[in-house]
Amino acid sequence: MEEKKQEAIIEAILFTVGESVELEKLAAVLELDKEKTKTLVEHLRKRYESDTCGMKIIELDGAYQMCTKAEYYEYLIKIAKQPKKRVLTDVLLETLSIIAYKQPITKAEVEKIRGVSSDHAVNKLVEYNLVCELGRLDAPGRPMLFGTTEEFLRSFGVESVDELPVLNEDQVEEFKHQAEEEMQLKLGI
């Protein structure tokens, strides 16, 4: 294998791992001795010394790590301070609706209503601070109970979950009918 490709492999490893990687591990992956691997890393380090590169490779006690050059930290701080846009997908909205109307509720109960695993959706809603853990259900396994947060109320412009719209039976039946039609279309029936 040519040296440029070996350097590219080292670069990919250091970039992806994000932590220091021991010289021995790099050598093992490349199936080279440590001396040859160190030469490749040093050549790659020199390439990153250019003013046109925002990254550098540092050595930490016989291991190497890719990191940002210190002169670019202020730009990283600026980007990190920008608010992240939260995207509520249909799955997240559906899960959030179930939790909002049925709280306190367990993941298993959410999954029973949705018919699919809801781990990711519930975890994402917790990460977005729209849902929180309320405690544990006094039942075998002591499953976690979930409910909405103050952030949920602020985001949806209500003072309390009591202000959430109430569906009448006609609307519920219409939603069921629409869901059945969608399933038939997806299944090709």
Task: Give yes or no: residues 99 and 179 share one domain.
Answer: yes
Assign 172 a pLDDT band (cuts: 50, 70, 90).
Answer: low
Domain of 57, CATH number, reads: 1.10.10.10
Question: Where does 24-157 show beta strands of DSSP type E?
Answer: 55-60, 63-68, 105-106, 131-136, 144-148
Average pLDDT for 112-117:
88
- Cα dist from 144 to 9, 109, 114, whole Å: 44, 11, 18
Same domain, 101 and 177: yes
Question: Whole-angstrom Cα distance, residue 91 to residue 118?
Answer: 9
- Which of 74, 99, 132 marks a domain boundary? 74
| Shared-domain flag, residues 69 and 125 | no
Residue where a domain terminates, one of 43, 74, 105: 74
Q: What is the average per-residue pLDDT within 58-76?
A: 92
pLDDT at 79 over 80: yes
Encoded amino acid at 40, one letter:
L
Dihedrals phi, psi of 68, to nearest 5 degrees: -80, 145
| Domains identified in the chain, total number | 2
Domain boundary among 44, 74, 104: 74
Of 99, 95, 83, 187, nearest to 148 by C-alpha is 99
126 and 41 within one domain: no
Assess whether pLDDT exceeds 90 at residue 83: no
If pLDDT is split at 50, 70 and 90, which confidence band does 189 have? Answer: low
- In this structure, the answer to whether residues 124 and 97 fall within a common structural domain is yes
- 77-81, 85-89, 91-95, 181-185: segment of lowest average pLDDT: 181-185
User: Residue ranges of the alpha helices (H) in 18-106?
Assistant: 23-30, 34-48, 73-81, 90-102
* Amino acid in the structure at residue 134: L
Q: Does residue 104 sit in the same domain as residue 160? A: yes
Q: What is the mean pLDDT of residues 45-58?
A: 92
* Bond into 83 cis (ω within 30): no
Residue 138: domain span: 90-187
Together in a domain, 62 and 145: no
Whole-number Å distance between alpha carbons of 9 and 14: 9
